Amino acid sequence: MSHRGVGLAEGVSPLLLWALAGLLAIWFVLLLVEGRLRHAPLWVALSGLVTALLMGAAVLRPSLVTTRGTELFPKVVVLVDRSWRMRLGDGTTTREQVSLDTVRRLQSHLKAARVEVLGFGEGAAKPMPLAEASAGHRPTDSDLTAALRALGEAPGERPKAVVVVSDGRLTSPTDSSAPEAMRALGERIGAPIHTLRVADTSPPDASIRRAATAGAAVAHQKLALQLQVGCSGGLACDELPVTVEELLHGEPPSLLAQGSAKIRDGSATIELPFTLDRAGRRLVRVRLQAPAGDRVPENDVRILTFDVTRERVRVLHVAGRPTYDVRALRMWLKADESIDLIAFFILRTNSDATQTSDDAELSLIPFPVDELFTEHLPSFDAVILQDIDAVEYKLERHLPALARYVRAGGGLIMVGGPSAFMGGGYAGSPLSDVLPAVLPQQGAPFDTAPFEPRTTDAGRAAPTLRGVRELFGDQLPKMQGMNTLGAVRPGSIVLWEHPERRAGNAAMPVLSLGESGDGRSIALAVDGTHLLEWSELSERGAGRAYGALWEGLVGWLMRDPRFESARIELTHECRAGAPVELSVTRLPGAAVDVKVTLLPLGAGAEQPGPAAPMPDKQLRMEASVETITVALGVLTEGGYSATVRIGSAPPARFDFACERGGLAFADSRPDPALLERLARETKGVSLKADDVESLSAPPATRVAAERVTTPLLPAWLWALAAAASLGGHWYLRRRAGLV
Amino acid sequence: MSALGATLTSFTGSAAAFGDVGAFNPRIVSAGGRRLAGPRSTAPSSWSMELMNRTSAPARLVPKELGLDRPELSTEPFAIWAGDADVGPLTLGERRGLSKFIRLGGVLVVDDSDPQGGAFGRSVRRELLRILPESPPVRLDPSHVLFKTFYIVDRPVGRLLGPPTIDAIVRGKNAQVLFLAHDLLGALARSEDGGFPLPTEPPSYEQRQYAIRFAVNIAMYVLCSDYKDDQVHAPFLMRRRAQSR
């Protein structure tokens, strides 16, 4: 494409041009004034005007300019809302399908523009090939502000226009954003923002629009869950029941709270207080009973994840008799400021003769066994039973409740001694089912032959024993006997074993760890761990090994991340029906096998998730690899518990929720008004998606490739003509009698 | 003493701890090779026997005697240092052994058999001040847990009535060295026929019983530390004290 025009000589500045124009204008005015005052003939004035123009041309030397080049199509950025919410639809088509169709039509309509399609959701917008539009992770948010900010800061060519394709239910800006903030978005880009609305009407829907708590979740402390329930799209809502349940491992969901939302003007707010007793990641399912006609059932259920913290770990320490081992444990527990210790020691048996006439001379109190193991049991994070006879001290009848407590997420440590394990009447009890090792029901309950426990491979790999091993290596103090235990239960781990005694085909476990339901348990079949502090060996660790052992044991019991063998997290939010991946990070070490087991939470209850365990995943981690990604496949809605075993180390567990709609579906109403406002404030236009062809492209930019300058006349000829004209003008003036 | 020990061993019957490794063990320590002689040497066994008869705590009936410089001192958290004369300056090994024992958290009872003279008590304080200059003895409050670990007692008592208070070296929250000026071992000492060879001053059956109770309380303090200071016991103990008044 070429273009012709007239130019001036090089070096002619605008100042010179204006100065020359001014002089010529003055000359012409003087000529007119002179003609009037002296009645000069017209041809004198005309010759003067010609002379002035020729003199101007002699200075400016006009030339013919021919330009050859191209017209560059304008850059148009299309920002497509990629939120999971765009999967909402009207029953026949989803908002995502409408948006993709709109983008295709826009691309074919804006032929005279360079269209770049980006998907936005969280952070900067990313290129979105339409062919792969349905693949990949979808964000929960629709953060248009972040996308525009990143676009404005990106280097390179700025777009001439931005087109937003969305339903308007944006995370940012929102309908409460100020007009100035909206205008600033367009100014940042330097281009108008047009909006294409993919949905204008709300589906008939009752939903949990918002679920929030005031403050963090702390174990044993009441937490108020505030729910905003909405009803839209013409759905008839009055009073909608709401239930709140905790999803547990291997047990039906536990009801935490229930209530009803009274809908007024399309929404209601309801507060449901409840208490979570166990710390760590807890999954809470909130279920709204929607009325008939609800077209979006995905947002009737939310599965919330609470990271429940503890103010202090509340430990119940019960000992059957005071010994140096009891003393050491009590002093360690009392010295730890993060532990709230409740202790009961049996100081007198029925056969003891206190030599008193009145119990008032004694400081003893009755062992409140019934009160402790009924009313107060849920308030404890961990229970330590140290060498206490369950039968003699009437603990036996509470063992079923104690087993349930462990399965519900409590921690249990049984510490050895003559009255522990078999010797305390625990064999065959419900509590024995949650211990990591089987308790034989026949044979001697304990053996008093001295031995040095042997650390197993799992013990060497377990972070639980890291502190002890750093001080003592594989060496341990000699114990003066141990309780008789059977083989470890499947899934449990042995950290110390007896060098000679056997339990079935394996060495008898001395220290073993196990998981049962949501809880963890430890079986320590000796009563001499205080020798880690008080023995000739302890000198090597300056007495610190005892604290290191118990810090590891209680830490593992309470799922302290420092004592877990792996850190597990989701690579992104789990969505029902979409592929899920786990990221597993281990401590540096040798190549190991990794086994991942996935179980649904709340088994046995009515839930759409799989009822049976999913097949285990087996992987290999090479020595140089610290993090791997494990594909879990496509899951259905529900809570899940992933257990990862790294080599022989104790397993680490990670509970997570998989939702159908999640926060993204919480509010199904589109917001066309917001898109109209955004377009208006940024000098763009807002159109329905159907009217995409009405959108006009910005003007093209011309880019010059070649410029040819041809003088109209040679410079000397302009000068000669100006001089001749000046001479002619002088001659005519003389003839007219002018000077 | 060995006969008494054998008799008592057979009395213990069923095991109270594997190999009694965690059982209360009132070991006698000595400095400069001065061993405890006479009737008081039977007191540790008697102390163990009384503890087992009256409480659920297991105890060792034949406690060992060992020097302060022996490494075995730091293999258990309790020891008694008794005497009636100036112990003289401790050797470097004895100071190191005693320092390690106390820094590990051990409890030492310093029992002056001749508190009227007071030479033993003064000399032990002098030596301990050299070892633990940062922890001078302080007077224990009458509400200290030592007076309620098993029996509710009003004051320390031994063979001698002695002062109504106890001085102690307190480290952290724990009273680790108890200075007794009551000849506690004298009250606990037994003859081969089971009698008490050393009479109390003033002569009193009740005083000996209170001395035994106080000894049981010390043992319980060693085994349970401040267990009876736990909040859960407070209302019961307040009621009991009100009843006993």
The three-state (H, E, C) secondary structure of A128-152, written as one string: CCHHHCCCCCCCCCCEHHHHHHHHH
The answer to whether A569 and A582 have CB atoms below 8 angstroms apart is: yes
CB contact under 8 A, A418 and B22: no
Integer Cα distance of A600 and A670 in angstroms: 34
Q: Would the pLDDT of B132 be above 90?
A: yes
ipTM of the complex model: 0.92
pLDDT of amino acid B11: 34
Q: At A1, is the pLDDT very low, low, confident or very high (cuts 50, 70, 90)?
A: low
Multiple choice CATH, B2-244, 1.10.10.10, 3.40.50.740, 3.50.30.30, 3.40.50.12140:
3.40.50.12140
Q: Is the Cβ pair A363, B149 closer than 8 Å? A: yes
Cα–Cα distance, B229 to B232 (Å, whole number): 8
What chain A holds in terms of domains, given with CATH numbers, is 2-68+707-735 (no CATH), 74-201+670-699 (3.40.50.410), 313-557 (3.40.50.880), 567-660 (2.60.40.10)
Sign of CA dihedral B71, B72, B76, B78: negative
- Compare all CA atoms of chain B with the CA of A478 and give the residue at the minimum distance: B21
Interhelix angle B205-224/B43-54, nearest 10 degrees: 80
Q: What residues in B contact A342, CB-CB < 8 Å?
A: 230, 232
* Amino acid present at A700: A
What is the distance in angstroms between the Cα of B100 and the nearest Cα belonging to chain A? 9
A543 touches chain B (CB under 8 A): yes
Calculate how close chain B gets to A589, using CA atoms only, in Å.
Answer: 35
Q: Which of A6-10, A617-621, A692-696, A715-719 has the lowest mean pLDDT?
A: A6-10
Cβ of B54 and A353 within 8 Å?
Answer: yes
For residue A518, give the nearest of A430, A405, A632 by alpha carbon: A405
Alpha helices in A558-619 (DSSP H): none
To the nearest 10 degrees (0 to 180), the angle between helices B205-224 and A324-335 is 60
Q: Does B237 touch chain A (CB under 8 A)?
A: yes
Q: A295 or B64, which is more confident? A: A295
Res. A623: pLDDT tops 90: no
Write out pLDDT tens, residues B45-104: 999 999 999 999 999 998 888 999 999 999 999 999 999 999 999 999 999 999 999 999
Cβ–Cβ gap A417/B58 under 8 Å = no
User: How many residues are recorded in chain A?
Assistant: 739
Q: Is the pLDDT score of A306 beyond 50?
A: yes
pLDDT of residue B10: 31
Chain A contacts in chain B segment 97-156 (CB below 8 A): 100, 104-105, 148-152
- Nearest Cα of chain B lies from the Cα of A527 at a distance, in angstroms, of 7
Q: Is the dihedral of CA A56, A57, A61, A64 positive or negative?
A: positive
Assess contact for A147 and A118: CB atoms under 8 A. yes
- For residue B76, list chain A residues with Cβ-Cβ distance below 8 A: 324, 534
Local confidence band at B244 (pLDDT 50, 70, 90 cut-offs): low
CB contact under 8 A, B225 and A320: no
Q: What's the rounded mean pLDDT across residues B112-134?
A: 94
CA–CA distance, A477 with A539 (Å, rounded to integer): 11
- pLDDT one-digit tens code per residue, A65-76: 887 777 788 999
Radius of gyration of chain B from its Cα atoms, rounded to whole angstroms:
17
CA closest to B212 among chain A residues: A355
Question: What are A247-281's pLDDT values in tens digits?
Answer: 988 888 999 999 999 999 999 999 999 999 888 89
In chain B, what are the domain boundaries?
Answer: 2-244
Give the nearest partner residue to B77 out of A418, A534, A539, using CB atoms. Answer: A534
Q: Is A537 on the interface with B (CB under 8 A)?
A: no
CB A289 within 8 A of CB A494: no
Note whether A376 contacts B: Cβ–Cβ < 8 A.
no
Contact by Cβ (8 Å): A439, A521? no
B147-151 average pLDDT score: 95
8 A C-beta contact, residue A585 and residue A626: yes
- Is B17 within 8 Å of chain A by CB? yes
Per cent of chain B over pLDDT 90 is 77
Q: Which helix (H) or strand (E) holds A724?
A: helix A715-735
Residues of B in contact with A446 (CB under 8 A): 15, 18
DSSP code for B239:
H
CB contacts, 8 Å: B19 with chain A: 448, 450, 480-481
| Min distance B63 CA to chain A CA atoms (Å) | 15
**Are residues B103 and B74 in contact, defined by beta-carbon separation less than 8 angstroms?**
no
pLDDT-derived band at A736, boundaries 50, 70, 90: confident
Query: Minimal CA–CA distance to A115: which of A160, A81, A149, A148?
Result: A160
What pLDDT, in 10s, does the model give residues A91-147?
A: 789 999 999 999 999 999 998 899 999 999 999 999 988 877 777 788 999 999 999
Inter-chain residue contact B75 with A354, CB threshold 8 Å: no
Higher pLDDT, A209 or A708: A209
Alpha helices, DSSP H, located in B19-73: 43-54
Whether residue A184 contacts residue A144, with contact meaning beta carbons closer than 8 Å, is answered with: no
Judge whether residue B27 has pLDDT over 50: yes
Alpha carbon of A217: minimum distance to chain B alpha carbons (Å): 27
Interface check A444 vs B, CB under 8 A: no
Tokens of A325: 């081992």
Q: What is the mean pLDDT of chain A?
A: 90
Out of A169-173, A559-563, B136-140, least confident range = A559-563
The count of other CB atoms within 10 Å of the CB of residue A650 is: 30
CB contact under 8 Å between B152 and A330, yes or no, is no
pLDDT value of residue A511: 97
Which residues in B lie closer than 8 A to residue A535 (C-beta atoms)? 75
- Verify whether the Cβ–Cβ distance B223 to A327 is below 8 Å: yes
Q: Does A351 touch chain B (CB under 8 A)?
A: no
The angle at the Cα of A63, spanning A58 to A68, to the nearest 5 degrees, equals 165
* Structure token pair of residue A593: 């096998």
CB contact under 8 A, A446 and B15: yes
User: Residue B20's closest CA among A450, A413, A547, A444?
Assistant: A450
Cβ within 8 Å, pair B19-A450:
yes
Residue B147 has pLDDT above 80, yes or no: yes
Q: What is the mean pLDDT of residues A414-422?
A: 96
| Token pair in block for residue A60 | 């400016």
Six-digit token string for B242: 């009100």
The yes-or-no verdict on residue A726 having pLDDT over 60 is yes
Percent of chain A with pLDDT over 90: 65
Instruction: Out of B58, B152, B224, name the one closest to residue A345 (CB).
Output: B224
User: In this complex, which of A330, A344, A534 lies closest to B76 when CB atoms are compared?
Assistant: A534
**B216-220 mean pLDDT:** 97
Report the residue of B14, B21, B224 to disrupt the A interface, i.e. the one with the largest count of A CBs within 10 Å.
Answer: B21
State residue B37's pLDDT score: 82
Contact residues on chain B for A524, CB-CB shorter than 8 A: none
- Res A610: pLDDT: 47
pLDDT tens digits, one per residue of A459-518: 998 999 999 999 999 999 999 999 999 999 988 999 999 999 999 899 999 999 999 988
Q: Can you tell me the distance from the alpha carbon of A587 to that of A652, in angstroms, rounded to the nearest whole number?
A: 12
Number of A/B CB contacts below 8 angstroms equals: 164
Maximum mean pLDDT: which of A478-482, A713-717, B35-39: A478-482
Q: Which of residues 42-71 of B touch A (CB under 8 A)?
A: 53-58, 71
- In this model, does residue A683 exceed pLDDT 70? yes
Which of the four pLDDT bands, split at 50, 70 and 90, describes residue B243?
A: low
